Amino acid sequence: PELVDARLAPSNFVPSLAVVYRDFCTEEEAQSLVSDVQVCLKRRRYEMGHWDSVIVNYKETELHDEESIISSDISKNLLDRVRYQLQERHLSHKDFTWLPCHVIDLHKDGELNAHVDSVRFSGDIVAGLSLLSPSIMRLVPDDDGDVKHGLVERKKHEAAVGVNWVDLYLPPRSLYVLADAGRYHYSHQLLPSGSVFCSNEEEGPITVQRDHRISVIFRDAKD
């Protein structure tokens, strides 16, 4: 459970695979950020991608000019808070710069298939704020990535928990972080609508209907 629910973690806990911070932002902050990014997204059409595409039925944009796109102070403060959290908890060991935020608008019938993010530009973490719809992110071991990084952590994790894939439940307003082995040695994908998340005994299994989803993704630049 400590992999998926940071509320239970001590403040100095640094997960080595992945973590989900539930209720990272308020409804008001989420709505504010959605309306700011939708100003850019509205001008675009959903793209279908090719038959073997990682992502299908989506729109995307990068916030190169974040200051002019993110107009409300509420959204600005939220983005700053995400970066602060990531820097303090996940990147405090190094100097780095941020890549522009990447925004993905996934149609309710869209797909995000298994992939490991390219290591050409992006650094040690991939983190995303999930807005509007819940979803399940599945992490599956992938040794075909460009780098053999974090393999020891992955093997340790698998030996400890006895499974070779991990599902993360991403409710709206949560922030997920893929780090170390989770970033380099597992592929990530969103499961189709109607998939079941097997959570802890208290909550029981949750059937997750995925609807229109917007995510704002944060990446540190490669060293």
Question: Residues in the site for ligand AKG, rule: CB under 6 A?
Answer: 102, 104, 112, 117, 126, 128, 188, 215, 217
Whole-number Å distance between alpha carbons of 138 and 194: 14
Yes or no: say if 219 and 125 are a contact pair by the CB < 8 Å rule.
yes
Closest separation in Å from C-beta 217 to ligand AKG: 5
Whichever of 156 and 191 has its CB closer to ligand AKG, that residue is: 191
Closest separation in Å from C-beta 88 to ligand AKG: 21
Name the β-bridge partners of 221. 122
Closest separation in Å from C-beta 202 to ligand AKG: 26
Whole-number Å distance between alpha carbons of 188 and 174: 17
Whichever of 154 and 188 has its CB closer to ligand AKG, that residue is: 188
Whichever of 3 and 175 has its CB closer to ligand AKG, that residue is: 175
Whichever of 32 and 174 has its CB closer to ligand AKG, that residue is: 174
Whichever of 82 and 126 has its CB closer to ligand AKG, that residue is: 126
Closest separation in Å from C-beta 193 to ligand AKG: 15
Output b/e per residue, 27-64; b: 16+ Cβ within 10 A.
Answer: eebbbbbbebbeebbeeeeeeeeeeeeebbbbbbbebe
Whichever of 85 and 156 has its CB closer to ligand AKG, that residue is: 85
Yes or no: say if 41 and 107 are a contact pair by the CB < 8 Å rule.
no
Closest separation in Å from C-beta 170 to ligand AKG: 7
Closest separation in Å from C-beta 210 to ligand AKG: 11
